[in-house]
A and B are shown apart, each in its own frame.
Chain A
Amino acid sequence: MLEALRITIPHRLHDVTAQLRAGSVTAICGPNGAGKSTLLAALAGLITPVSGTATLQGQPVAQLLPEDRARRIGYLPQSGEVAWNLSVRTLAGLGRLPHRTSASENAQVVAQVLATLDLTDLADRPLATLSGGERARALLARVLTTQPHWILADEPLAALDLAHQRTLVHRFRALAQEGRGVVLVVHDLALAMNHADHVIVLDQGRVAAQGKPATALSEDVISQVWKLESRWLGEPGHMALAL
């Protein structure tokens, strides 16, 4: 279990407590500036709270050795920045850095991950030549080649068209079914409602609601947090938000 225990980071998070379970998809939602990315970074051990702590299996994440933490928690930042025009294969290979394994083993893992993300044909293509959807999958491949037990991704579906969103959502679901913990920052509430097992709603650095999607993303919560009158339409698993 990955837990945030009363995490406070001045001006960003206030007394945030949340429990995230392996084998499930957790969505972190909230308006801009609510503290979603900060919470994700704190859970990944990249920001040290002034009070409270993030723990992994009961052990403070900050106390894990950097390489050990890196092997257990994969983190995909929002920026998607890559400084050099690497090939997809080289980018994916960077995920093996925390492992001290042989080049042949690394190449095998990279090939497997590229195959699961349907990137084998693009393996030798430079990043600059990829479409937005291909690039998003290549960035995710870099996280997956680390083979972490937890995958924390900051808006991995932003700027993707519906087809690519769907492909990646299915991939995240498959990862959760493998027993991994998947934590996604998402803006699309319908996506969170239909595909997450657990939702944490943040508002001005505090937890406004958390639990099953139907509870945490109720029309009342949306009204209170986003200041929008809305109505859920459709059947569970295929719901749309009417504003």
Chain B
Amino acid sequence: MTRPITLLLAALVITIPLSLLVGQVWISPFSPPVPNATAILMELRLPRAVLGLILGAGLGAAGAAMQGYLRNPLADPGLFGIAPAAALGAVLSFYTGYEVQAFTLPLFALIGGGGAMGLLALIAGRAGGIALFTLAGMMIASLAGALTSLAISLSPNPFALSEIVTWLMGALADRGWHEVRLAAPLTLVGLALLWRAAPALDALALGEAAARSLGVDPTRLLWLMIAAIGLIVGSGVAVAGMIGFVGLMVPHLIRPFTDQRPSATLIPSALAGALLLLVADCLCRIMPLKGGELRLGIALSLAGAPFFLRLLLKMRRELA
């Protein structure tokens, strides 16, 4: 377990400073100084890199925990319906026109994510098993998706419509320290909760009955998962929009290098998620695209969909 962590930490140590140099304006320590280099680095690229690291770590670890909790390698943090509900909250802030204030959009998104967490807890929180929980999450995701579409179709003006659609694509562009201050504490609390849930996730690999016989309290675990995934995914959507596939892809890439226990995949998945988001964001910045840079959410979906397909084909071969 320590080897992948060491390698990923080394990769991050190399990638983080490099990522600060990459963008529309390249900053090279070996070339003549670029005008406003300090401002570009400190006010634009550093917060963006930090945000990418935080969100990537959260999504990677959340994916590993979700796959452990549902004992399904195809599970993703999005299955809980928290991301679509947070997106609905954010879209409503556009719809109402309140998004002009910097804190309104994240606040609406967090309210949406929090509402989904509450609804999940209400439906499946006390005695609900994992199957009921998953179905409740899918129902919330479906409902939030439908309401988001409704909000888009009733958009008050073309400008709001364009803003909504662009925001839904997910990106780290133009994010600053304000977003870092909002997402970092919530994500860190979420990660700490996942770490607390880790031994129970390991026991759950043996099935619910065996896990309970090993002292796992399923209700406590459920609450830990709702709170952790809600904080990580809700705060992520609140500051960067919808960024998918990280939670699905990263644990798969990591698992072969661990002993496969869910707890053993948590930290490497967090580090690999951070690395993936950082690298993907750099690529988005330098991708030649008319009218701006490629949206991070689109880039990850473009990479993630073939990955998901490959995974399905591999599973089909194994089952055959």
Tell me if B205 and A73 are in contact (CB < 8 A).
Answer: no
Tell me if A146 and B71 are in contact (CB < 8 A).
Answer: no
Say yes or no: is B35 at the interface (Cβ < 8 Å to chain A).
Answer: no
Identify the stretch in A85-93, A175-183, A187-195 within 8 Å (CB) of chain B at 4 or more residues.
Answer: A85-93
Tell me if B213 and A81 are in contact (CB < 8 A).
Answer: no
Instruction: Report how many residues on chain A are interfacial, defined by Cβ distance under 8 Å.
Output: 29
**B71 touches which of A44, A73, A79, A83 (Cβ 8 Å):** A83
Say yes or no: is A237 at the interface (Cβ < 8 Å to chain B).
Answer: no
Residue on B nearest A139 in the bound complex, by CB: B206
Tell me if A73 and B213 are in contact (CB < 8 A).
Answer: yes
> Within 8 Å CB of B213, what residues of A?
44-46, 70, 73-75, 77
Bound form: Cα–Cα A81–B209 in Å: 10
Bound form: Cα–Cα A172–B313 in Å: 43
B72 CB, nearest partner CB in chain A, Å: 8
Instruction: Report if A94-B202 is in contact (Cβ < 8 Å); known contacts: A70-B213, A87-B259, A146-B214.
Output: yes
> Within 8 Å CB of A94, what residues of B?
202-203, 205-206, 214, 261
Instruction: Report if A67-B215 is in contact (Cβ < 8 Å); known contacts: A85-B260, A97-B199.
Output: yes
Tell me if A81 and B202 are in contact (CB < 8 A).
Answer: no
Say yes or no: is A142 at the interface (Cβ < 8 Å to chain B).
Answer: yes
Q: Which of A67, A87, A97, A98: most chain B CB closer than 10 A?
A: A97
> Within 8 Å CB of A77, what residues of B?
206-207, 209-210, 213
Bound form: Cα–Cα A97–B201 in Å: 11
Say yes or no: is A69 at the interface (Cβ < 8 Å to chain B).
Answer: yes
Say yes or no: is A236 at the interface (Cβ < 8 Å to chain B).
Answer: no
Tell me if A82 and B215 are in contact (CB < 8 A).
Answer: no
> Within 8 Å CB of B212, what residues of A?
46, 66
Q: Which of B210, B213, B215, B216: most chain A CB closer than 10 A?
A: B213
Bound form: Cα–Cα A71–B255 in Å: 29
Bound form: Cα–Cα A79–B212 in Å: 14
Bound form: Cα–Cα A70–B255 in Å: 28
A81 CB, nearest partner CB in chain B, Å: 4
> Within 8 Å CB of B262, what residues of A?
84
Tell me if B203 and A97 are in contact (CB < 8 A).
Answer: yes
Say yes or no: is B140 at the interface (Cβ < 8 Å to chain A).
Answer: no
Bound form: Cα–Cα A44–B215 in Å: 11
Interface residues of A in 86-125 (CB under 8 A from B): 86-87, 90, 94-95, 97-98
Tell me if A84 and B205 are in contact (CB < 8 A).
Answer: yes
Say yes or no: is B204 at the interface (Cβ < 8 Å to chain A).
Answer: yes
Q: Which of A77, A85, A142: most chain B CB closer than 10 A?
A: A77
Bound form: Cα–Cα A77–B202 in Å: 16
Residue on B nearest A64 in the bound complex, by CB: B215
B73 CB, nearest partner CB in chain A, Å: 9
Say yes or no: is B163 at the interface (Cβ < 8 Å to chain A).
Answer: no
17 further A-B contacts with Cβ under 8 Å, apart from A70-B215, A83-B205, A90-B260, are A41-B209, A46-B209, A46-B213, A66-B212, A71-B215, A76-B210, A81-B207, A83-B68, A83-B206, A85-B260, A86-B205, A86-B261, A94-B206, A95-B214, A97-B199, A97-B203, A97-B215
List B residues at the A interface (Cβ < 8 Å): 68, 71, 199, 202-207, 209-210, 212-217, 255, 259-262
22 interchain pairs (CB within 8 A)? A66-B215, A66-B217, A67-B215, A69-B215, A77-B206, A77-B207, A77-B209, A79-B209, A81-B207, A82-B205, A82-B206, A83-B207, A84-B260, A85-B260, A86-B261, A87-B259, A90-B261, A94-B205, A94-B261, A97-B199, A97-B202, A97-B203
